[in-house]
Structure 1
Amino acid sequence: MLLEGSCHCRAVRFRVESHEPVPFLRCYCSICRKTAGTGGFAINLGADHTTLKVEGMAHVAVYRATMDDGRQSTGHRHFCRQCGTALWLWDPTWPDLVHPHAGAIDTPLPTPPSVTHMMLGSKAGWVQVHAEAGDVCVDAYPDESLAQWHRRHGVES
């Protein structure tokens, strides 16, 4: 599925091919929550990094978070330096993948049949998790990858 996205001020526009376009995975970690989270979580999609095309790259900045143990995260969080919109995450650990933030996507996205709530062990105390029957809730990382979840639900694109 071709995803088209942009920042709030439209200085940055991008497009990318995604085989994992369903916004099912809500991350409640402090990094996602503070850099991109609304409602106390952020939603990333899975896409093919080699297909990422960006207009307005001069307006893109990168943030690499410092972990609780003092190490620097390997994740490169891209955002608009004009308006602050979180755009995508790329990590050299998985160089073929890029993870656009669902909130930056302008293309209509499929509705997930269920949601996985991850990193609940580090969610903010004020956050209420709205889990429904069939949702998965885990304190850290789920056992299932983005690709595996999409295959299991038959929503590969």
Structure 2
Amino acid sequence: MRLNGSCHCGAVAFELESAHPYPFNRCYCSVCRKTAGGGGYAINLGGEYASLQVQGKQHIAVYHALIDGEPSPAERHFCRHCGSALWVYDERWPDLLHPFASAIDSELPEPPQTTHLMLASKCGWVAVESHGEDKRFQQYPDESLAQWHERHGLTR
């Protein structure tokens, strides 16, 4: 699926291919919550790094979150003007790019199930809207973005 995204002020626009476009993972970790957070969580999609096309690269800044006091190799890209979180790239997985669902302008498909992860980092005031067969994890989930899509027969 072709994903088109942008920042709030319009300085940055991007597009990429995604075989895993369902926004099912809600991450409540302090990094996602504080850098991208709507609703106390952030949602990442899976995309193909090689397909990324960006307009307005000069308006992008990168943040390396501190994890256990050390800078993470993961690059969190955001608009330097409006602060919109755009995507995460990590050289440890060079073929992948993880755009934030909140930056995607394309109509995303509705997931049949939601995974709530990093609940141990959730703020007390955040209500987890969990339904039916949703999965909940105090830390990381037991399957990847790709595995979740494959289990549901949703790989595009």
Give the TM-score taking structure 1 as reference length: 0.98
Partner residue in 2 for 1:78: 77
Residue 51 (structure 1) shift: 0.5
Residue 155 (structure 1) shift: 1.0
Q: How does 1:69-148 map to 2 (within 5 A)?
A: 69-148=68-147
Structure 1: stretches of 5+ with no match in the other structure: none
The DSSP-based 3-state class of the residue aligned with 1:125 is: coil
Q: Which amino acid aligns with 2:93?
A: W
Structure 2: how far apart are the matches of 1:148 and 1:65?
26
Structure 2: how far apart are the matches of 1:92 and 1:19?
19
Residue 25 (structure 1) shift: 0.3
The DSSP-based 3-state class of the residue aligned with 1:148 is: helix
CA RMSD across the alignment: 0.6
Aligned length: 156
Partner residue in 2 for 1:26: 26
Partner residue in 2 for 1:43: 43
Structure 1 position 4 matched with structure 2 position 4: yes
Structure 1 position 15 matched with structure 2 position 15: yes
Q: Which amino acid aligns with 1:16?
A: L
Residue 154 (structure 1) shift: 1.0
Structure 1 position 59 matched with structure 2 position 56: no
CA deviation map 1:87-131 (0-9, x unaligned): 000011111100000000000000000000000011111111011
CA deviation map 1:46-104 (0-9, x unaligned): 0000100000000000000112x211112100000011000000011111100000000
The DSSP-based 3-state class of the residue aligned with 1:41 is: coil
The DSSP-based 3-state class of the residue aligned with 2:32 is: helix
Structure 1: how far apart are the matches of 2:24 and 2:66?
26
In the TM superposition, structure 1's runs of 4+ consecutive aligned residues that sit over 4 Å from their partners are: none
Give the TM-score taking structure 2 as reference length: 0.99
